[in-house]
Structure 1
Amino acid sequence: MRACLTTALIALSLTPGVAAAQTSAGDWLIRVRGIVVSPTETSGEVSGIPGSRVGVTASVMPEVDFTYMATDHIGAELIVATTRHEATGRGSLSAIDTVASTWVLPPTLTLQYHLSPKSKIRPYVGAGVNYTLFYAEDASDGLEAALGSTKVRMSDSVGYALQAGIDLDIGPRTFLNLDVKYLDIDTTARLVTGVGTSRVRISIDPVVIGAGIGMRF
């Protein structure tokens, strides 16, 4: 029985469909992931509204990333995705379930270290920078019912990014990917009404969990 199992394992290791991708210098890795963006947010007080706070909802979206391997172990990855989030009322704003909504575009560049580039299971860690743009901001009907006609503007953000993940071969050039990132994202939201402008500082700081498939070129 042991001999048969050993023979099967040897045969499996020699099967072209499960050969190690063996990432090397000069390779491009392209991954498509589904991601969950889960903010770990904190906020200050909305100016002019004592006791007020805001929260930020999670979002699920697709993501695409591109990695260039400068050496067998060192790669640079550009991550591109956009997600929609809602700001929710807390504290004295808790009666307003949704305060505003916005789309977020945080292109992120990380420098990665790949621990075992010639193995079928290849973990990596990375660190880098993200530049986050907020667009299509929109005040909710509930906010406008409370404050009147309101325009919402959110400042862009520059922050650091931390990353850890693993690639698992399913073919000579294809692999599964699991990835976790932490993004440092801070913004100031401005609520512009007919009687003035209120501001609130929000640290969004999401954990981004992704799973998907990749190809090596």
Structure 2
Amino acid sequence: MNKAFFMSFGILVFSSFSPEAQAQIGTETGAGDVQIKLLATYVIPDGKITKVKLDNVGLPMNSQTKANDNVVPTIVVEYFAADNISIETIAGVTQHDVDGVDGFAGAEAVSNAKIIPATLTVKYHFGDGKGFKPYVGAGPSYFLFLGEKSGATTKTLGANKVKLDDSLGFALQTGFDLPLNENGLSMSLDAKRYFLKTDASWFVGNNKVLETRHKLDPWVISAGVAYRF
């Protein structure tokens, strides 16, 4: 489903991106504009263990984990502080499980972890404000974790509660907006790479029995429509 979505999007992009089409739909844009985007977002996290900080449950040797991918809707709000410079924030929630690989293969460590990836990026847009608009951006992110539960396997080890620490990180971004008409409607493709880690702690009652550090560093790929006014 994910491959089909992005292939269809790519075909539409290239069929629309001709000099004649762009000459007809290019419009002047500038400082003070606001752009709203509605996107389908493919979240591809890492999730591997980089450090075992506490182990009172007898974690198997060479245990390793991986977080599952997810596709979610995302809303983007962007303000143009100058003709080629904008400030962007996103709104969305993604949900992931963390499962075992390698020496921990088939195990479920964390279930139903919901993440709010609060992100603020400053973007530079190339070109003269007309037609095809590529950009790059960067900025801080803060991941808030909600509703996480101990996985089936860690429960069997006696750990019936888990907590993922909220985490401050950094995001790099690139993408483009492709105008579809003269009224501010565009097609948008965006890619972000986040860099952050979180500590996961498992408890028996109120006693911490296991703590691991996890590398998240997700790729976040989005495609959809934008309206600028």
TM (norm. structure 2) is 0.82
Q: Residue in 2 aligned with 1:60?
A: 71
Alpha-carbon distance, 1:93 to partner: 2.4
Q: Distance in 2 between matches of 1:169 and 1:135?
A: 37
Q: Residue in 2 aligned with 1:127?
A: 138
Alpha-carbon distance, 1:196 to partner: 4.3
Residue identity matched to 1:59: N
SS of aligned partner of 2:211: strand
1:194-209 equivalences in 2 (<5 Å): 194=205, 196-209=208-221
Q: Distance in 2 between matches of 1:36 and 1:152?
A: 25
Q: Distance in 2 between matches of 1:204 and 1:89?
A: 15
Partners of 1:45 and 1:51 within 8 A in 2: no
1:147-158 equivalences in 2 (<5 Å): 147-148=157-158, 150-158=160-168
Alpha-carbon distance, 1:13 to partner: 6.4
Asked if 1:27 is matched to 2:33, the reply is: yes
Gap regions ≥5 residues in structure 1 = 1-8
Q: Residue in 1 aligned with 2:201?
A: 190
Alpha-carbon distance, 1:149 to partner: 5.1
Cα distance 1:13–1:135, how it changes in 2: closer, same or farther (>3 A)?
A: closer
Q: Distance in 2 between matches of 1:210 and 1:113?
A: 18
Aligned-residue identity in percent: 32
Q: Distance in 2 between matches of 1:131 and 1:149?
A: 27
Cα distance 1:76–1:208, how it changes in 2: closer, same or farther (>3 A)?
A: same
Partners of 1:147 and 1:193 within 8 A in 2: no
Alpha-carbon distance, 1:94 to partner: 1.8
Q: Residue in 2 aligned with 1:215?
A: 227
1:13-92 equivalences in 2 (<5 Å): 18-46=24-52, 47-48=54-55, 49=59, 50-92=61-103
Q: Distance in 1 between matches of 2:37 and 2:136?
A: 16
Alpha-carbon distance, 1:95 to partner: 3.9
Q: Residue in 2 aligned with 1:167?
A: 177
Q: How many residues align?
A: 203
Partners of 2:142 and 2:169 within 8 A in 1: yes
Q: Residue in 2 aligned with 1:180?
A: 191
Between Structure 1 and Structure 2, whose CA radius of gyration is higher?
1
Cα distance 1:88–1:164, how it changes in 2: closer, same or farther (>3 A)?
A: same
Alpha-carbon distance, 1:80 to partner: 1.6
111, 114, 117: which one aligns with 2:125: 114
Q: Distance in 1 between matches of 2:64 and 2:46?
A: 14
SS of aligned partner of 1:116: coil
Residue identity matched to 2:176: I
